Amino acid sequence: MKIKLDELAMAFRTSDVLQGYVDIRQGKVVLLEDEFRDDAQGRERTENDVLEHVFSVEDDWENYVPIPNVYDGNEREIMAGFAEKLEAPQREELLGALKGSGAVGRFHRQIRRLRLAEEWENFQEEWFHALAQEWCEENALAYE
């Protein structure tokens, strides 16, 4: 089965807050939040349901590939990559915002001030999509 790159890219984008994995038999990206909200009857899932699912994955681990947390440690790199694609003076303003503590907050304020939110969103989408493709290739997983 082929993994949908769009789904994997979205999972990478939330990998800092949601644990996930790829079910290679079904070509399905699974985020634990999605799996454990409510069951088909609308019943809220319990901690035991979560543990049961985790143990079933553990018993069949060779069919699952965990999705790494790609956001932590790469956040400034992603932001700097976006800034580098811009023309001066926007580039210098964003790169300057990335220096020192509080950089992420400053960067996002500058994005809003410079009215670059749409361009920033598109850049992130492309970055995570390219990362998803690279990750699939590194893990010998078919994708579409």
In angstroms, rounded to a whole number, what is the distance separating the alpha carbons of residues 11 and 60?
Answer: 21
For residue 72, what is the enclosing H or E element? none
Which letter does DSSP use for residue 2 in this model?
P
- Identify the pLDDT of residue 34: 47
Q: Binning pLDDT at 50, 70 and 90, where does residue 33 land? A: low
| Residue-range domain boundaries for the chain | 5-69, 75-135
Tokens 């598109």 sit at which residue?
A: 122
Are 144 and 3 spatial neighbours (Cβ–Cβ below 8 Å)? yes
Are 135 and 21 spatial neighbours (Cβ–Cβ below 8 Å)? no
pLDDT digits (tens, 9 = 90+) for 96-140: 999 999 999 999 999 999 999 999 999 999 999 999 999 999 999
Could you give the maximum distance between any two Cα atoms of the chain, in Å?
Answer: 56
